[in-house]
Amino acid sequence: MSSPPASAIVIDAVSKTYRPRDSQTVKVALKSVSLDVPRGAMFALLGPNGAGKSTLINIMAGLVNKTSGKVVIWGHDIDTDARQSRRAIGIVPQELNLDPFFTPRETLEVQAGYYGIPKAERRTDEILETVGLADKARAHARTLSGGMRRRLLIAKAMVHNPKILVLDEPTAGVDVELRQQLWETVHEMNALGTTILLTTHYLEEAQENCNTIAILRHGEVVAYESRESLLSRLKDKLVVVRFAAPFAQVPVGLSPFLPEITAPDTLAFRVNREDGGIPALLDALPGCGLKISDIATVEPDLEEVFLRLTRDTPLPGRVTI
Ligand code: ADP
Ligand code: MG
């Protein structure tokens, strides 16, 4: 067997323009998106609704034709090597599209048949166990809860033992407890060597669970890096100084620090913590002529990075404490 590729998925300058047949309007959903999903990653594709996440996933799944660009899955180009690329990937779609009359066991057996997996090699029971549906093997899909259906869809995507599992909004509309179970399932699979790519518009989930994060906005990649480096994008620390009384104007000694007036008695300073900005500010404060009543600092979090990268027009740093 040839050695596995370093990249589980390579997306190279992929664009998509939807041209609905019955409409004059065209919709540009993806604009030259390039991404590389490393083998073994737990990769989050993050972005607000309409950003193009499902479009990208559906292109990988062969459900949507891209307008231009190239997608390589586990070393196989989806255009020239569709069969092999589909074998390498399991997709859990955003919609819960299950046949209501099939039981979980039947659902997986049909899917295994679709992939031409011989009966002796099928892992139906093992997979049902993995996703916690062993006791529902013979229940009709329509009697399953939303969370169970979601897990059945994951099971369905695992039938052909793909190297990569792609989940489109796996936790949307799933209650907290089931969401926890889903994450456990996904983490287990990742620990066993499956590369995970998932989309979410829940920032905290990406931050907690994924080691690589890309942010999509209006069909464009606006960030793509490790969780740590995404966080360190905000090298600035926010220093919030409350004075003992309201002030008429920013004291001259503090104006070089370009503070923002966030309340009649409060200034917020965005200070770069790597270039000595904080000591300089602390040196300047005592001589500013105002009595200080409180100082607080705020660490950047992914939320702020996300908001900065996804909002349409950059706003001056707004302080919410
Ligand atoms: P996300 O999954 O990030 O919410 P989508 O990929 O579903 O985003 O949608 C991206 C954009 O493409 C949206 O503006 C959406 O309205 C549009 N879009 C998605 N599917 C179609 C389609 N079949 N026909 C026309 N426009 C579409
Ligand atoms: Mg979507």
CATH number at residue 290: 3.30.70.1150
How much is the pLDDT for 236?
73
Q: Is residue 144 part of a domain?
A: no
> What's the N-to-C CA distance of the chain in angstroms?
56
Q: Is residue 290 part of a domain?
A: yes
Distance 210 CA to ligand 1 centre (A): 24
Which of 14, 18, 63, 217 best tests ligand 1's pocket when mutated (most atoms within 8 Å of CB)? 18
- Residues, the chain: 321
Q: Is residue 74 part of a domain?
A: no
Which tens digits make up the pLDDT trace of 210-254?
999 998 989 999 888 888 877 776 667 789 999 999 999 999 999
Distance 93 CA to ligand 1 centre (A): 14
Q: Is residue 217 part of a domain?
A: no
Q: Is residue 268 part of a domain?
A: yes
Q: What percent of the chain has pLDDT over 70?
A: 93
**Given a cut of 90, is residue 147 above it in pLDDT?**
no
Supply the range of the domain harboring residue 240.
236-299
User: Is the C-beta atom of 52 inside 6 A of ligand 1?
Assistant: yes
How much is the pLDDT for 312?
54
Q: Is residue 260 part of a domain?
A: yes
Which tens digits make up the pLDDT trace of 78-116?
999 999 999 999 999 888 788 888 999 999 999 999 999
How much is the pLDDT for 9?
97
Please give the torsion angle defined by the CA atoms of residues 111, 116, 118 and 124, in that order, rounded to the nearest 10 degrees. -20
- Counts of helices then strands in the chain (DSSP H, E): 10, 14
User: Is the C-beta atom of 27 inside 6 A of ligand 1?
Assistant: yes
Q: Is residue 176 part of a domain?
A: no
Q: Is residue 262 part of a domain?
A: yes
Give the total number of structural domains in the chain. 1
Q: Model's pTM, two decimal places?
A: 0.77
What is the DSSP annotation of 204-259? HHHHHH-SEEEEEETTEEEEEEEHHHHHHT--EEEEEEEESS--SS--GGGGGG--
